Amino acid sequence: MRILVVSRVDDERAVSYAAGIAETLRGLSHDVVLEEALAARLGGPGVVLGKAGADLAVVIGGDGSVLHTIQGLKEQVPVLGINWGEVGFLAELEPAEAPRFLENLREGFRVEKRMRIGITLDGTPLGDALNEAVIVTSRPAKMLRFTVEVDGILAERFRADGMLVSTPTGSTAYAMSAGGPIVDPRIEGFLLVPLAPYMLSSRPIVIASDRVLRITLESEKPAKLVLDGQRTRELARGAVLTVRRSGEPALFVDVGRSFFDKVDQKLRRL
């Protein structure tokens, strides 16, 4: 297999560990390429994420590293995350257990698909998000006003510090901290979560993924749209965001670990 190795590069131990993983994979006769930032730290040639042409991406880091990799891939390939972060909910393996798993990894491994959401701004595609799209005010302590339509029908109008549209995968991230429910990632749907809403009646809503969500920013105040914590776009008054299920899901190597075990180990026992 052609395997891309990606790592956070702000931690010397992570870089060193990534170099060891690359050598382990080469020893198993895989064609190994390094992402350009990691390669630069190790003093060798590297490849751009979107041009790796890999069959598998091994990512050493936390959730941010995994999201960065998925955002950078031109075409989605299976991702195997090795946790080198705080919680690492998207990283399936811990550093000590990863080498043995990789030694037993063969072509034909099981892959889990994770729904992503596709975002357009006034009809222009902005990209996909695996965790969430967040609209927040650019000015602290200022509220925003939103109108939400589902399949063309007015569903909600409210004021809040911001709004979050999450996938089930993202329900254990920002959405959970904002008061949203934890959703089994096998369920496909949008999770709409107001951030510090003014009215008690403004509650999180779960919407079927075959519907079209349309969000209009009605405030004069400046706002920003953030996709997966990786991409940021300024929003003006009257901006219309359309949210649909992406046609290209993210792909994760299935290591046989239950989602609910991870919730118990990584969220309840922190």
| Residue pLDDT, tens place only, 243-269 | 999 999 999 999 998 888 888 887 775
The predicted-structure confidence for 76-101, as pLDDT tens digits, reads as follows: 999 999 999 777 889 999 999 999 99
User: Which CATH homologous superfamily contains domain 117-245?
Assistant: Probable inorganic polyphosphate/atp-NAD kinase; domain 2 (2.60.200.30)
Question: What does the alpha-carbon distance between residue 83 and residue 165 come to, in Å, rounded to a whole number?
Answer: 25
Residue 4: CB partners within 8 Å, gap ≥ 6? Answer: 33, 34, 35, 47, 49, 52, 54, 56, 57, 58, 77
Give pTM, 2 decimals.
0.92
Active site residue 228: no
pLDDT band at 106 (very low <50, low <70, confident <90, very high): confident
Exposure string for 196-230, b = 16+ CB within 10 A, e = fewer = ebeeeebebbbbebebebbbebebeeebebbbbbb
Residue 36: CB partners within 8 Å, gap ≥ 6? Answer: 46, 47, 48, 49
Q: Do 2-114+249-266 and 117-245 fold alike per CATH?
A: no
- Under CATH, what is the fold of the domain 2-114+249-266? Rossmann fold (3.40.50)
- Catalytic residue, from 10, 31, 55, 63: name it: 63
How is the chain split into domains, by residue range?
A: 2-114+249-266, 117-245
